[in-house]
């Protein structure tokens, strides 16, 4: 593990791919166990699109119905009921995503960490980690959502202020240039924050640190490997968005056969697996770069023991 500090962009990608092929059995078991949960998103998507179509249909009917009539009140109640159902399904969808994210992150991250202990890993042992880490990981994820929300709010406020300033300048060219510069800076900041938050999730699984403490440690740990981490994050984000767009097109418009939709869903899930592996490898690279060697004995125990500060 001491040599991991020398891994660059292609080295981390190569190491992640190597792990997938070398440990494909245990990773396949984890993926198959959680893939069934992931497929629920198909049902939620179908129901959501169905409810949205019903709401649009009822709204059009309301626009052509005389107000304060029995039929109008009936359609209004029906539209309100559909909106409530859509909101409930949306909340349920986000809860499902959170559950899958907690399970998948904790199991995959711990598995990859155990890979570097040179000891055989069993599916039962890996899954037994989930009850011991999910609370820490959930707290870190909630703080991550809050951090992203605050950052996005700041972006919106800044855009509004800049819009008012550009309106006073009366120069479209200057406004366009400044707007482009701000957009680049905001996107860079968003990617940088995402890298820190992703690494904080890995830290919450492998160490007895969570929440803001994990976020601050992630910020310090990534120093020296920031450019490489951002480049890999951009690659993963672009790939994830591409698969997501294809999946949404298939689901929303009904293009392609059910087999193609299933294949795209599996590819999305496998890409998520690849992303979690690269995040864990980056964590190990950063620790090696800062001469923080992981105490392997903590991972070799029969029962899960998080990495303490004294283990470093």
Q: What is the per-residue pLDDT across 136-161, written as a single tens digit (0 to 9) for each?
A: 888 998 898 888 889 888 888 877 77
Q: How confident is the model at residue 305 (pLDDT cuts 50, 70, 90)?
A: very low
Residues of the chain with pLDDT > 90: what percent?
Answer: 7
Residue 286's Cα: distance from chain center in Å?
21
Q: What is the DSSP string of the chain?
A: -GGGGG--HHHHHHHHHHHHHHTHHHHHHHHHHHHHHHTHHHHHHHHHHHHHHHHHHHHHHHHTS-TTSHHHHHHHHHHHHHHHHHHHHHHHHHHHHHHHHHHHHHHHHHHHHHHTTT----HHHHHTTHHHHHHHHHHHHHHHHHHHHHHHHHHHHHHHHHHHHHHHHT-HHHHHHHHHHHHHHHHHHHHHHHHHHHHHHHHHHHBS--THHHHHHHHHHTTTSHHHHHHHHHHHHHHHHHHHHHHHHHHHH--S-HHHHHHHHHHHHHHHHHHHHHHHHHHHHHHHHTT----HHHHHSSS--PBPGGG-
Q: How confident is the model at residue 307 (pLDDT cuts 50, 70, 90)?
A: very low
- Of the candidate ranges 20-24, 65-69, 178-182, the one whose mean pLDDT is the lowest: 65-69
| Rounded mean pLDDT, 203-217 | 88
Residues of the chain with pLDDT > 70: what percent?
Answer: 73
pLDDT value at residue 103? 79
| Rounded mean pLDDT, 172-198 | 82
**297 pLDDT exceeds 70?**
no
**57 pLDDT exceeds 50?**
yes
Q: How confident is the model at residue 302 (pLDDT cuts 50, 70, 90)?
A: very low
pLDDT value at residue 259? 64
Residue 32 or 222, more confident: 222
Break the chain into its structural domains and give their ranges.
2-311
pLDDT digit string (tens) for 259-274? Answer: 666 666 677 777 888 8
pLDDT digit string (tens) for 19-49? Answer: 888 888 888 888 777 766 555 555 566 666 6
Cα distance between residue 4 and residue 79, in whole Å: 58
**7 pLDDT exceeds 80?**
yes
């Amino acid at each position: 593990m001491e040599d991991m500090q020398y891994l660059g962009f292609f080295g981390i990608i190569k190491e992640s791919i190597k792990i997938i092929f070398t440990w494909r059995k245990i990773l396949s078991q984890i993926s198959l166990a959680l893939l069934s949960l992931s497929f629920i998103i198909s049902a939620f998507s179908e129901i959501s699109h169905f409810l949205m179509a019903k709401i649009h249909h009822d709204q059009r009917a309301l626009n052509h119905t005389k107000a304060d009539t029995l039929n109008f009140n009936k359609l209004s109640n029906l539209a309100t009921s559909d909106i409530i159902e859509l909101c409930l399904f949306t909340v349920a969808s986000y809860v499902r995503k959170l559950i899958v994210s907690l399970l998948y992150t904790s199991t995959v991250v711990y598995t990859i960490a155990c890979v570097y202990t040179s000891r055989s890993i069993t599916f039962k042992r890996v899954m037994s980690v989930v009850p011991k880490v999910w609370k820490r990981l959930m707290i870190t994820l909630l703080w991550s959502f809050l951090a992203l929300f605050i950052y996005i709010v700041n972006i919106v406020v800044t855009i509004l202020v800049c819009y008012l300033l550009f309106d006073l300048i009366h120069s479209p060219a200057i406004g366009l240039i400044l707007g482009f510069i701000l957009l680049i800076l905001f996107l860079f900041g968003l990617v940088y924050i995402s890298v820190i938050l992703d690494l904080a999730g890995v830290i919450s699984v492998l160490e007895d640190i969570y929440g803001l403490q994990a976020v601050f440690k992630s910020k310090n740990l990534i120093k020296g490997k920031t450019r490489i981490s951002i480049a890999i994050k951009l690659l993963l984000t672009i790939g994830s968005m591409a698969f997501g767009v294809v999946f949404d097109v298939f689901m929303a418009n009904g293009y392609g056969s059910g087999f193609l939709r299933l294949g795209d869903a599996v590819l999305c899930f496998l890409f998520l697996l690849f992303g979690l592996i690269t995040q864990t490898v980056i964590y190990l690279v950063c620790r090696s770069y800062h001469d923080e060697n992981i105490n392997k004995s903590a991972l070799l125990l029969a029962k899960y023991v998080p990495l303490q500060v004294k283990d470093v």
